[in-house]
């Protein structure tokens, strides 16, 4: 049996404990029973560490002996050392890898991967002492190692790993577990590997969108005498999408009227790709020039466009103004203080977000020169200069690439904790920025989903901030999957793409060609803009005069007509998340 006893709750706070990582998992296999996708989103994702693990997801899926109820059946030792079954004081059985001498010394099970299927993986992990990152690794064709997810396991409680992998081929594989510290034992329980078809995955995206992005509205159309008006037509056209879906822009928009027309006809949210960055506003030391970003802000304001501030600092040493790179630590401290006060004060109250220290997990220019709390101090300063704007940690590979441990959701949350622990940081409205630059190959949607699950459990808002995809065959199909995955996840509160027309310099994966004609990937974006609510959409009243419609959250213009009776009425409607089903009484005059 499995018990849940006295869970140790790990919460993100200024006094927070160790934070644990869950991912999700995507693999492709042959000849297997495919189960419902109803639980593939983990809406209850948590950073809890439990005294006893839960039962395995999907009954273990294709894993043999997933809960170790049959001793070690199906499991073998990999590398050096030994494996054994142990039992907790409550009688729960689990597997142990002991006497390890190498990171990959562990327990393993052989599986068969098959092209065209998606698989989710999960397991509960614990260590014999201390804490360390444990990764799940897939050994493909006897030689290639693919990391599918990571968790910070510790002694004394069980933590859930979820992970993901996409296999573009049919192949045998072996599941392994890795800890860089070979002196500790790895313990595991409730291991699961479950296949899904792409059709099932898409179906669940659609179900989630229906649940978290839409609400039902009932229109009751009658004559003034309250008799039903059968055949009345309800036409809805969205005037404002509640979910921010936007696109980055650059300085070309100031001088290219066709670029303006292309952008303004589609989007109400944006980020300036480079124009607010330090290397753009102070090319020469002491000579600040905000002419370009000021003009772009004016254009945005005049057209009702909300702007994300990108960025105050960039932690990559290569992305500093040239003159900054040779400064002494004390000179850098003074220059950086001038920069943050200048840019944050200038645009205070005008932005919906600030990327305060960009790519703060991969790089440490400011920490290396000014001390380990440099970035945390900048978050505190930015908040005090612009107190009502969300402060984002903006990072790449956190949900795009399972092999990048440095930017994993676990380490992302650790960085948030470090920021919150800094004196004066209490109350900062932090938010999670995930760049989502996807490289070639099928996007690992299960890893993406699981990372969003864990990060969403912190309670901080999540935005996909620079979404893009590299040129490749099936590019438009893959981008469609990525955007739907973000839109479908309940923790995501906005999506900005870093793509655009060729004339604006977006040549890597343009949305429009030299003549502003849509590319195939541009067609995908326009299709989703229409699908997510712009309309117009029509529906006819039944014999009771009733029309039931499920609408994306936002504001609508509604026109009610009856062609035969030549009557019409115009309404304004607001549909919001969490509101109960609305019933709109429409009484028509003959």
More confidently predicted of 122 and 276: 276
Respond yes or no: is residue 466 known to be catalytic: yes
- Quote the pLDDT of residue 47: 65
For 330, the token pair is 């004390």
Question: Which residues fall within 8 angstroms of residue 446, CB to CB, at 6 or more apart?
Answer: 24, 25, 26, 40, 118, 119, 120, 121, 163, 164, 165, 166
Give per-residue pLDDT as tens, 508-546: 989 999 999 999 999 999 999 999 987 788 999 999 999
Other C-beta atoms closer than 10 Å to the C-beta of 548 total 14
Angle at 555 between CA 549 and CA 561, to 5 degrees: 55
Identify the residue whose tokens are 């894993």: 63
Contact 475, 443 (CB under 8 A): no
Ramachandran assignment for 74, one of left (phi > 0), alpha (psi -120 to 50 degrees), beta (any other): left
- Between CA 501 and CA 514 the distance in angstroms is 7
Q: What is the mean pLDDT of residues 104-128?
A: 93
Q: Place 133 in a pLDDT band, splitting at 50, 70 and 90.
A: very high
Write down the catalytic residue from 359, 395, 400, 476.
359
- Quote the pLDDT of residue 119: 85
Give per-residue pLDDT as tens, 316-354: 999 999 999 999 999 999 999 999 999 999 999 999 999
Is the pLDDT at 573 greater than 50? The verdict is yes
Handedness of CA 181, 183, 184, 186 (dihedral sign): positive
Q: Place 362 in a pLDDT band, splitting at 50, 70 and 90.
A: very high
Give the DSSP letter string of 477-545. HHHHHHHHHHHH-TTEEEEEE---BGGGT--SS-SB-TTSPBPHHHHHHHHHHIIIII--EEEE--TTS
Give per-residue pLDDT as tens, 196-208: 889 999 999 999 9
Is the pLDDT at 14 greater than 60? The verdict is no
Task: Name all domains of the chain by residue range, CATH numbers in brackets.
Answer: 1-208 (2.60.120.260), 213-232+541-588 (2.60.40.1120), 250-441+461-470+495-532 (3.20.20.80)
Q: Place 28 in a pLDDT band, splitting at 50, 70 and 90.
A: very low
- Quote the pLDDT of residue 169: 83
For 275, the token pair is 């124009």
What is the 8-class DSSP label of residue 12? -
Give the DSSP letter string of 92-138. -EEEEEES--STT-EEEEEEEE-TTEEEEEEEEEEESSSEEEEEEEE
Give per-residue pLDDT as tens, 274-290: 999 999 999 999 999 99
For 57, the token pair is 């997801």
What pTM value is reported for the model? Answer: 0.89
For 395, the token pair is 């990072």
- Quote the pLDDT of residue 551: 94
- Quote the pLDDT of residue 196: 87
Beta bridge partners of 334: none
Percentage of the chain beyond pLDDT 70 is 92
Q: What is the mean pLDDT of residues 113-129?
A: 91
Q: Please report, for residues 46, 86, 157, 191, 228, the alpha-carbon distance to residue 49 in angstroms, rounded to integers and kept in the order given.
A: 9, 20, 6, 17, 58
Q: What is the 3-state secondary structure (H, E, C) of 312-331?
A: EEECCHHHCCHHHHHCCHHH
**76-78 β-sheet, strand order:** 76-78, 106-113, 171-179, 131-140, 144-154
Give per-residue pLDDT as tens, 33-85: 334 444 456 655 556 789 999 999 899 999 999 999 999 999 999 999 999 99
- Quote the pLDDT of residue 585: 93
Q: What is the mean pLDDT of residues 92-105?
A: 97
- Compute the mean pLDDT over every residue in the chain, rounded to the nearest whole number: 90
Write down the catalytic residue from 185, 395, 466, 485.
466
Give per-residue pLDDT as tens, 218-256: 999 998 888 999 999 999 999 999 999 999 999 999 999
């Amino acid at each position: 049996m499995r018990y849940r006893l006295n869970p140790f709750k790990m919460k993100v706070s200024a006094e927070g404990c160790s934070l644990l990582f869950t991912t999700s998992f995507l693999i492709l296999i042959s000849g297997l029973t495919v189960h419902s996708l109803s639980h593939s989103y983990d809406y209850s994702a948590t950073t809890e560490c439990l005294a006893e693990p839960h039962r395995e997801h999907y009954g273990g899926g294709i894993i043999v002996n997933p809960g170790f109820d049959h001793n070690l059946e199906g499991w073998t030792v990999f590398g050096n050392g030994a494996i054994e079954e142990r039992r907790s004081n409550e009688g729960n059985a689990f597997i142990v890898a002991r006497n390890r001498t190498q990171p990959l010394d562990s327990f393993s099970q052989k599986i068969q991967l098959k092209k065209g299927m998606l698989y989710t993986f999960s397991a509960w992990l614990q260590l014999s002492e201390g804490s360390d990152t444990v990764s799940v690794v897939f050994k493909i064709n006897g030689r290639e190692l693919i990391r599918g997810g990571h968790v910070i396991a510790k002694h004394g409680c069980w933590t859930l790993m979820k992970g993901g992998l996409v296999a573009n081929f049919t192949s045998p594989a072996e599941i392994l577990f890795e800890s860089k510290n070979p002196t500790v034992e790895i313990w595991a329980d409730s291991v699961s590997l479950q296949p899904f078809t792409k059709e099932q995955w898409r179906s669940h995206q659609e179900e989630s969108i229906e649940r978290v992005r839409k609400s039902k509205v009932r229109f009751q159309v009658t004559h003034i005498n309250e008799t039903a008006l059968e055949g009345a037509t309800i036409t809805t056209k969205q005037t404002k999408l509640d979910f921010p879906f936007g696109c980055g822009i650059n300085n070309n928009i100031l001088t290219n009227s066709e670029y303006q027309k292309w952008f303004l006809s589609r989007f109400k949210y944006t980020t300036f790709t480079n124009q607010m960055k330090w290397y753009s506003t102070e090319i020469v030391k002491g000579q600040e020039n905000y002419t370009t970003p000021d003009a772009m802000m004016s254009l945005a304001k005049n057209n009702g466009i909300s702007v994300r501030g990108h960025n105050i600092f960039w932690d990559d040493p290569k992305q500093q103004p040239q003159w900054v790179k040779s400064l002494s630590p004390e000179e850098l401290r003074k220059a950086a203080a001038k920069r943050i006060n200048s840019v944050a004060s200038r645009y205070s109250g005008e932005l919906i977000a600030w990327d305060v220290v960009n790519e703060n997990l991969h790089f440490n220019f400011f920490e290396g020169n000014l001390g380990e709390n440099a970035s945390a101090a900048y978050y505190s300063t930015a908040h005090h200069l612009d107190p009502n704007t969300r402060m984002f940690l903006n990072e790449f590979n956190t949900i795009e690439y399972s092999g990048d441990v440095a930017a994993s959701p676990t380490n992302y949350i650790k960085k948030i904790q470090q920021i919150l622990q800094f004196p004066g940081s209490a109350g900062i409205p932090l938010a999670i920025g995930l760049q989502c630059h996807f490289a070639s190959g099928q996007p690992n949607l299960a890893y993406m989903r699981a990372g969003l699950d864990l990060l969403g459990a912190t309670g901080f808002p999540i935005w996909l901030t620079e979404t893009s995809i590299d040129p490749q065959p099936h590019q438009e199909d893959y981008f469609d999957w990525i955007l739907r995955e973000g839109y479908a996840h309940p923790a995501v509160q906005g999506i900005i793409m870093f793509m655009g027309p060729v004339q604006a310099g977006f040549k890597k994966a343009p949305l429009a060609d030299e003549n502003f004609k849509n590319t195939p990937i541009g067609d995908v974006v326009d299709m989703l803009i229409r699908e997510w609510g712009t309309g117009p959409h029509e529906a006819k009243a039944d014999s009771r005069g009733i029309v039931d419609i499920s609408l994306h959250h936002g504001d609508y213009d509604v026109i009610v007509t009856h062609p035969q009776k030549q009557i019409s009425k115009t309404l304004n409607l607001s549909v919001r998340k969490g509101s109960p089903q609305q019933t709109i009484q429409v009484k028509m005059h003959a």
